[in-house]
Amino acid sequence: MQTNQRFKVEVNSEIGQLEGVIIHTPGLEVEEMTPENAERALYSDILNLSVASDEYAIFKGVLNKITRTFEVRDLLSDILSNDQVKTALLQDICFNESAMEILPRLMEQNPTELARQLIQGVYLERNNLTRYLSLERFSLRPLHNFLFTRDASMSFGNEVLIGKMASKVRDREAFIMDAIFNHHPMLETSTINPNTPEIIRNYPGISIEGGDFQVGREDVLVIGTGIRTSTQGIDFILEKIKAKKDGLRHILIQELPDTPESFIHLDMVFTFLDVDACMVYEPLIMGTNRFHTIHIQVENGGVISIEEEKNLPKALKKLGIDMKPVRCGGGIDSWTQEREQWHSGANFFAFAPGKVIGYERNIHTIEQLNQNGFEIVQAKDLLSGLCEIPEGKCVVTIPGSELARGGGGARCMSMPIRRKKV
């Protein structure tokens, strides 16, 4: 994939027309899961790779039709051809995962094979008594969650914030994405990396994941805080914004419950659809509950106010972003809303203003979008040439009977690196 043409990272909204996105097609790492280790891998169930692969191929096919896509494995293989980058990345990974004994073996691998092993896992060599008796199967465990490329890095302006993953099983994803953005000759950006001893020491309890990080506008961030992004993680982001001293900036924070597990990220209950529409899981975002919505204003290097807001749509409206909430699960009853939210019914990915991708299985949510002016386009029809992307608002529906069981939707599976300005 190496190219002389530089690709500048630039993302100033959630809905600007997509010009580049990083994805990861799930592979054998998804099959290296058992009922016993699924919970450790952050899954509630094990996936059928053949079905998930067919569904993902349709999702990727849609993205290829509308934008330029980059595969993590290709980008990783490219940078591993640089011996200095390869050595530094492998040392960081092996040290972090207490696997320094396999470093010489990994150094011998060619870039393509090494990229595969870093994602799909490195089997444990049972060449001494401790390893022979070990219940572990891998020296480096597979990255079961890497198909959700959203979490380990976040584009904002012309920079990339690297994730500080809440679970150690995902640390390697962040290490890989940091290396890609810093060393791939095609990508033009700078990174903010919280995975350093100094930052971890200064912000005990820090965690930041991309599912909680949304760009409302050049001067507006919307961030969720819960089991995956801590308040210390948001304080770290706050300090980085203060250090820029570049005028008035707004951070809207939405508290999330610890349970159920379908609430792991903000984008499971709230996503941007258009300049004037957002998808909400109504009971949490609009209802009366104990979860705070906080508005922090930063200007010229200092916090000038921290105050509570009624809810996210009202807070955004005060900032001139007036959006009609569209209800996940429709307006039938709370049971239907809860059921569709569980299967990523609020997790939409906008590839242009008013043009979004989501799971077809959430029929009441899709119908609600249709009632709000979004034409329903089936991905299979789009890919077979039976239709094109319409001029107006639309929702492209993708199959997700298996992918949804992984705990994420179209937004989770896509990491934009460039969008046009809205």
pLDDT tens by residue, 153-172: 999 999 999 999 999 999 99
CATH topology of domain 7-419: L-arginine/glycine Amidinotransferase; Chain A (3.75.10)
Whether the pLDDT of residue 194 is over 50: the answer is yes
372-387: pLDDT as tens digits: 999 999 999 999 999 9
Whether the pLDDT of residue 120 is over 50: the answer is yes
- Phi, psi values for residue 168, rounded to 5°: -60, -25
Strands, E, within 249-372: which ranges? 249-255, 270-274, 277-280, 293-299, 302-309, 324-327, 349-352, 355-359
Distance of CA 216 to the CA centre of its chain: 16
CA–CA separation, 397 vs 377, rounded Å?
A: 6
Mean pLDDT of the chain: 94
Pairing of strands 394-398, 375-378: parallel
Q: What is the mean pLDDT of residues 74-92?
A: 98
Q: What is the mean pLDDT of residues 195-220?
A: 97
User: Which segments of 67-212 does DSSP mark as H helices, in order?
Assistant: 72-79, 83-96, 103-107, 111-120, 129-133, 171-183, 197-202
Residue for token pair 């591993």 = 80
Residues forming a β-bridge with 375: 394
So where are the chain's domains?
7-419
Whether the pLDDT of residue 295 is over 90: the answer is yes
Q: Is-contact 317 286, C-beta < 8 A?
A: no
Q: Residue 116 to residues 121, 290, 401: CA-CA distances in angstroms?
A: 8, 45, 26
19-66: pLDDT as tens digits: 999 999 999 998 876 666 655 555 556 788 999 999 999 999 999 999
Q: Is-contact 184 153, C-beta < 8 A?
A: no
User: Which residues have C-beta within 8 Å of that of residue 318, sequence separation ≥ 6?
Assistant: 295, 309
Helix H or strand E segment including 188? strand 187-188
